[in-house]
Amino acid sequence: MKLALIAGLVTVLLVPSIVWCAPMGSPANNVGKENYAVTVEYETQNKKIDDDESSSWRWLTRIAWGPHDNVDLYARIGAANFKVDSEDGTFNGDPGAAYGLGARFATYVSKKHSLLFFGDFQYLGFTSKGNMNVDKYDDFSGAYTEVWSDKYWWGEYQLSLLVSWQRSIWIPYAGLGITWIQGKVDRNLYIDTGDVPYFVESGTDEFSEGAIPEFVGGMDFPLKGTAKFSFELRYGGDDVSYFMGLSELWH
């Protein structure tokens, strides 16, 4: 919680316009050659990983730079938390550091039909620590609690291919995306019988989910100057992500 408050304070001090933004930034346009874009992103995500239900939220600041009119490079930094519901219990982790890199590129422009085709590839990683308590009972020990002290390492890769309809009042876009997940959890088991918990064992479990297909749809609403309000939905069966926000460019 403390990390999330610090990340929020830094954002307030450094970004003149406190806003929310989808991870695509201004999804329907590139920032332009030698231009910069600074945004603040909020994202919630629900995914099924190895038959366990997981969810997370992320607060991120993104800095994008355009080396070419049709190419953006960007970096993201902020905080994220992680929650897992499994057969054994619920892990609800504290916010941890989040970081990522990405690139967006325009592939084709149809001026006659006001269409822009573009792609985006990005990586996001974060950590989240917390405990999962599991109540147990046996005839020898009686009632006791397994305390799992866990630290999750999450790695997420996303590729999106999209087309936007360039209109002056609103800019809808849609397409397909693929997400790959790789991560691990460092686990330490303690037994709590009501006195001082004692250490039992430690270990590391790896998890992954490859090539999750998703439908991507969203909308940009141009505001004053270069600002745009955006929202986006990614849907892939058990996997759903929501984004909303606003971005602004500095030339």
* DSSP-assigned letters across all residues of 137-158: EETTTEEEEEEEEEEEEEEEEE
| pLDDT over 70, % of the chain | 84
The mean of the pLDDT values for the chain is: 81
Would the pLDDT of 248 be above 70? no
Which of 109-113, 120-124, 187-191, 227-231 is predicted least confidently? 109-113
Rounded Cα distance, 162 and 119, in Å:
6
Collect all residues with Cβ–Cβ distance below 8 Å to 88 and sequence separation of at least 6: 132, 134
Q: Would you place residue 30 in the very low, low, confident or very high pLDDT band (cuts 50, 70, 90)?
A: low
- Average of pLDDT values for 170-179? 92
- Specify the higher pLDDT residue, 242 or 131: 131
Helix (H), strand (E) at residue 121: strand 115-138
Would the pLDDT of 9 be above 80? no
* Structure confidence at residue 50 (pLDDT): 78
DSSP state of 100: E
- Average of pLDDT values for 79-92? 90
Length in residues, the chain: 251
What's at 138, amino acid-wise?
A: D
- Specify the higher pLDDT residue, 114 or 2: 114
Pick the CATH number of 2-250 from 1.10.287, 2.40.128, 3.40.50, 1.10.10: 2.40.128
Q: Are 41 and 87 in contact (CB under 8 A)?
A: no
What are the phi and psi torsion angles at 111 (to 5°)? -65, -30
- Specify the higher pLDDT residue, 177 or 246: 177
**Tokens representing residue 98 in the block:** 């989040």
* Structure confidence at residue 13 (pLDDT): 32
